[in-house]
């Protein structure tokens, strides 16, 4: 593990410690947990007697019927709050209206365009001063969600169905998700940056028959053609014999001359009917009760990349997810209702961060959540810079800002003067998520955004964990730049070796969780084997023989018990904070007619954290067509465009290298470690290459490098 050893030596030099400040200094009445001692006592009790701890925590939810058993654990299967019945939408919306908070703001939304909203905003010279802003109260949200829910019912959606959602960051996205869970259907949200093929494979896997989308979404002044992608996917799906019954379309951009298919006024593709949201939602009435759900009924599916080509549908269930997410949102961010807090998580709802900390965690805690539709650099300044995020913070008096290290590194590059122009004295807590944050970025965030007073919570967690696993709790935990510090209450985390033995201080090892927690994944949809082998198949607790949950991250714990996550130890890469399976990109590349073989690796990138390098061998057909020629830049561009089209822009390789062969072991496995070194431009071959089938291949690649 040469890369993590390097990381360790860098991090070991990181000795800075930032102690919690008094609550009043940050304008809080109090901290939920206000000392390290209190945290330690609470954490110790929560792990020693999880039943009592979670029984208390679950009381913060409203139940239709109480649960009789807190947890049943037959590794790897956990059931939480057995016998209980509740509803996620009820806990996020209805109960607040019933308690007299109907007029409070639930969602604040800001659209991207600052130009007249017709035509193409980027090409308009006459910018309006103010963007479009919407504020939805809990009462309005309840009405909108109920309308959408009864429409979904009218379209045949039933309890237990999976509804696919592929939308921009607009309020209707939140409404659609809540509408699903209101009637007991699970949502499967697909990030709007994915290509049609991604919708197709996820819809097939989830047996989904209904898709909710929008005509388009705004992104850096461009329009993302969401409906067009859905149309393409619907056709692909039909070719697989999978018929989507209905597509519900929000008119957001209004840019579309109706695509060819709809020119004649038809509203269907084959057997798939398309409906405009504004013509359909509301037509089936305003009322729709919340379905009573068993604690363990599926709440949602969220697909995440794995080390094989096919993404995994991570299953989360109702009560456990809600209990954990309301708690972590409250403690990690010191949330209080009725105290002027405005929370902004800049993640797209299409990722788990958006599910838990744009939507569910915030609504449950009755703290207004801000959604922003677009890019941080729109309007775009010279050099591609932008200060939209700082403008938004100042405009809405945001108290909590939660973003990704990759974004912070971009802001650093854009310069200190951009945030300095805006009054961000409203900020109280800053958060980061998605990848390890390098200490320099942490310090920049602390100084230029946090005024050197706001605590920074570096939250380590995963799609599979549902909510924060390790994070500082502001007010209680001293922070160290680059460390996600200590485990959340109720989380029994450890660093172990391959034998499952816990390692001592500062020894690099594998990150595991020993006990179940309420929001742990319940499975990989339709794939029991993958669930077990991915998460519970590798490591066992030597003391009990019980399987350990393995996060697939390498990490170490320092002498203070602080965790330092070093990154993935499997074949997935974090690119700009988004997980990507190397196999996904490889499959896309080899689907190109000229590509024979492809190997994809990550290499360190200043802003993205990791970037993608693809090593590609070409088929004879290419050489036959281009006698005597070397693969050109043009072909390189074509392959990059091909990956964008097949997977999405976030999977686009930064480097494409042509090679005559790939270095393989004698058993035929591609030697990725070697390729990673080549991609990163490492000078000398430091790895053990004795098992190389064809060393000349590596030598050739290195030469090309020079």
Binding site residues, ligand WTA, CB under 6 A: 304, 351-353, 433-436, 458-463, 484, 551, 553, 565, 567-568, 574, 579
* 631 vs 648 by CB, closer to ligand WTA: 648
* 188 vs 551 by CB, closer to ligand WTA: 551
CA distance 506 to 199: 42
In degrees, rounded to 5, the angle at the alpha carbon of residue 166 between the alpha carbons of residues 161 and 171 is 100
In degrees, rounded to 5, the angle at the alpha carbon of residue 661 between the alpha carbons of residues 655 and 662 is 65
In whole angstroms, the minimum distance from the beta carbon of 531 to ligand WTA comes to 15
In whole angstroms, the minimum distance from the beta carbon of 52 to ligand WTA comes to 28
CA distance 685 to 689: 8
In whole angstroms, the minimum distance from the beta carbon of 436 to ligand WTA comes to 4
In whole angstroms, the minimum distance from the beta carbon of 534 to ligand WTA comes to 12
* 246 vs 568 by CB, closer to ligand WTA: 568
Both structure tokens of 38: 């209190």
In whole angstroms, the minimum distance from the beta carbon of 249 to ligand WTA comes to 28
Burial class (CB in 10 A: 0-12, 13-18, 19+), 115: buried
In whole angstroms, the minimum distance from the beta carbon of 683 to ligand WTA comes to 27
In whole angstroms, the minimum distance from the beta carbon of 167 to ligand WTA comes to 19
In whole angstroms, the minimum distance from the beta carbon of 567 to ligand WTA comes to 6
In whole angstroms, the minimum distance from the beta carbon of 565 to ligand WTA comes to 4
Evaluate whether 670 touches 646 at the Cβ level (below 8 Å).
no
* 96 vs 312 by CB, closer to ligand WTA: 312
CA distance 171 to 252: 11
Closest CA to 439 of 396, 474, 484: 484
* 152 vs 190 by CB, closer to ligand WTA: 190
* 419 vs 609 by CB, closer to ligand WTA: 609
* 320 vs 405 by CB, closer to ligand WTA: 405
CA distance 349 to 373: 10
In the bound state, the residue with its beta carbon closest to ligand WTA is 463
Burial class (CB in 10 A: 0-12, 13-18, 19+), 125: exposed
In whole angstroms, the minimum distance from the beta carbon of 573 to ligand WTA comes to 10
CA distance 345 to 370: 7
Evaluate whether 302 touches 313 at the Cβ level (below 8 Å).
yes
In whole angstroms, the minimum distance from the beta carbon of 609 to ligand WTA comes to 9
* 102 vs 434 by CB, closer to ligand WTA: 434
How does DSSP classify residue 274? Answer: E
In whole angstroms, the minimum distance from the beta carbon of 351 to ligand WTA comes to 6
Closest CA to 327 of 60, 38, 40: 60
Both structure tokens of 700: 């050739």
CA distance 706 to 704: 6
* 393 vs 484 by CB, closer to ligand WTA: 484
Evaluate whether 271 touches 235 at the Cβ level (below 8 Å).
no
* 179 vs 325 by CB, closer to ligand WTA: 325
In degrees, rounded to 5, the angle at the alpha carbon of residue 584 between the alpha carbons of residues 582 and 590 is 100
* 106 vs 555 by CB, closer to ligand WTA: 555
In whole angstroms, the minimum distance from the beta carbon of 638 to ligand WTA comes to 30
* 65 vs 560 by CB, closer to ligand WTA: 560
In whole angstroms, the minimum distance from the beta carbon of 550 to ligand WTA comes to 10
**Helix, strand or coil, per DSSP, at residue 653:** coil
Evaluate whether 196 touches 233 at the Cβ level (below 8 Å).
yes
In whole angstroms, the minimum distance from the beta carbon of 300 to ligand WTA comes to 14
Three-state SS string over 5-60 comes to: HHHHHHHHCCCCCECCCCHHHHCCCCCCCCCHHHHHHHHHHHHHCHHHHHHHHHCC
In degrees, rounded to 5, the angle at the alpha carbon of residue 508 between the alpha carbons of residues 682 and 466 is 105
In degrees, rounded to 5, the angle at the alpha carbon of residue 461 between the alpha carbons of residues 13 and 21 is 60
- End-to-end Cα distance, the chain: 26
* CB neighbour burial string for 569-605, b if at least 16 within 10 angstroms, e if fewer: bbbbbbbbbbbbbbbbbbbbbbebebbbbbbbbbbeb
Evaluate whether 436 touches 567 at the Cβ level (below 8 Å).
yes
* 246 vs 557 by CB, closer to ligand WTA: 557
* 148 vs 404 by CB, closer to ligand WTA: 404
* 70 vs 565 by CB, closer to ligand WTA: 565
Task: Extract the runs of DSSP E, i.e. beta strands, from 123-209.
Answer: 133-137, 162-166, 186-189
**Other CB atoms within 10 A of residue 60 CB:** 14
């Amino acid at each position: 593990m040469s890369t993590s050893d390097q990381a360790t030596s860098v991090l070991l030099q990181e000795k800075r410690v930032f102690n919690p400040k008094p609550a009043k200094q940050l304008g809080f009445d109090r901290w939920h947990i206000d000392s390290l001692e209190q945290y330690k006592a609470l954490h110790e009790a929560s792990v020693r007697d999880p039943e009592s701890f979670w029984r208390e925590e679950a009381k913060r939810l409203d139940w239709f019927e109480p649960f009789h058993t807190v947890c049943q654990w037959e590794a790897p299967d956990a059931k939480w709050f057995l016998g209980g019945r509740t509803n996620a939408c009820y806990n996020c919306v209805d109960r607040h209206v019933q308690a007299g908070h109907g007029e409070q703001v639930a969602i604040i939304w800001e659209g991207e365009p600052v130009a007249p909203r017709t035509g193409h905003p980027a090409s308009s010279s006459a910018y309006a001063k103010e963007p479009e802003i919407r504020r939805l109260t809990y009462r309005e949200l309840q009405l909108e969600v109920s309308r959408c829910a009864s429409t979904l019912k009218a379209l045949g959606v039933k309890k237990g169905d999976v509804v696919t959602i592929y939308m921009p960051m607009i309020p209707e996205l939140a409404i659609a998700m809540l509408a699903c869970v209101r009637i007991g259907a699970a949502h499967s949200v697909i990030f709007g940056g994915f290509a049609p093929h991604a919708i197709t494979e996820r819809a097939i896997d989830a047996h989904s028959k209904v898709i909710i989308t929008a005509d388009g979404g705004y992104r850096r002044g461009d329009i993302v053609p969401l409906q067009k992608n859905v149309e393409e996917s619907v056709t692909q799906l039909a070719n697989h014999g999978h018929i989507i019954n209905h597509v519900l379309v929000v008119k957001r951009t209004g840019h579309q001359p109706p695509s060819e298919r709809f020119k004649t006024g038809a509203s269907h593709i084959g057997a798939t009917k398309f409906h405009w949201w504004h013509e359909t939602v509301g037509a089936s009435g305003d009322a729709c009760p919340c379905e009573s759900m068993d604690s363990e009924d599926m709440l949602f599916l969220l697909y995440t990349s794995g080390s094989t080509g096919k993404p995994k549908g991570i299953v989360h269930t109702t009560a456990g997810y809600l209990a954990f997410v309301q708690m972590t949102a409250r403690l990690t961010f010191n949330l209080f209702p009725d105290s002027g807090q405005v929370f902004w998580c800049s993640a797209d709802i299409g990722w788990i961060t958006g599910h838990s900390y744009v939507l569910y965690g915030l609504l449950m805690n009755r703290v207004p959540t801000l959604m922003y539709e677009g890019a941080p650099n729109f309007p775009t300044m010279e050099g591609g810079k932008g200060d939209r995020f700082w403008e938004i913070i100042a405009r809405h008096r945001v108290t909590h800002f939660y973003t990704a290290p990759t974004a912070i590194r971009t802001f650093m590059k854009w310069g200190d003067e951009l945030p300095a122009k805006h009054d961000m004295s409203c900020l109280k807590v800053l958060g980061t998520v998605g990848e390890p944050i390098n200490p320099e970025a942490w310090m920049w965030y602390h100084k230029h955004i946090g005024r050197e007073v706001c605590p920074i919570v570096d939250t380590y967690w995963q799609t599979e964990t549902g909510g924060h696993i390790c994070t500082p709790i502001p007010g209680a935990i001293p922070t160290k730049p680059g460390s996600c510090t200590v485990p959340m209450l109720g989380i029994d985390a450890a660093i172990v070796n391959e034998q499952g033995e816990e390692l001592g201080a500062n020894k690099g090892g594998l990150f595991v969780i020993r006990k179940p927690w309420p929001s742990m994944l319940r499975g990989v949809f339709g794939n029991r084997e993958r669930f077990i082998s991915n998460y519970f198949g590798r490591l066992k607790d030597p003391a009990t023989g019980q399987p350990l949950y393995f996060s697939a991250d390498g990490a170490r714990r320092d002498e203070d018990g602080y965790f330092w996550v070093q990154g993935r130890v499997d074949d997935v890469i974090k690119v700009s904070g988004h997980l990507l399976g190397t196999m996904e990109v490889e499959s896309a590349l080899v689907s190109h007619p000229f590509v024979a073989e492809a190997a994809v690796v990550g290499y360190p990138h200043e802003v993205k954290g990791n970037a993608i390098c693809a090593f590609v061998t070409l088929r004879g057909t290419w050489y036959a067509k281009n006698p005597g020629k070397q693969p050109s830049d043009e072909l390189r561009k074509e392959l990059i465009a091909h990956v964008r089209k097949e997977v999405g822009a976030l999977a686009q390789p930064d480097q494409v290298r042509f090679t005559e062969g790939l270095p393989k072991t004698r058993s035929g496995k591609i030697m990725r470690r070697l390729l990673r070194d080549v991609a990163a431009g490492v000078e000398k071959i430091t790895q053990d290459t004795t098992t190389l089938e064809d060393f000349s291949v590596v030598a050739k690649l290195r030469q090309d490098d020079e």
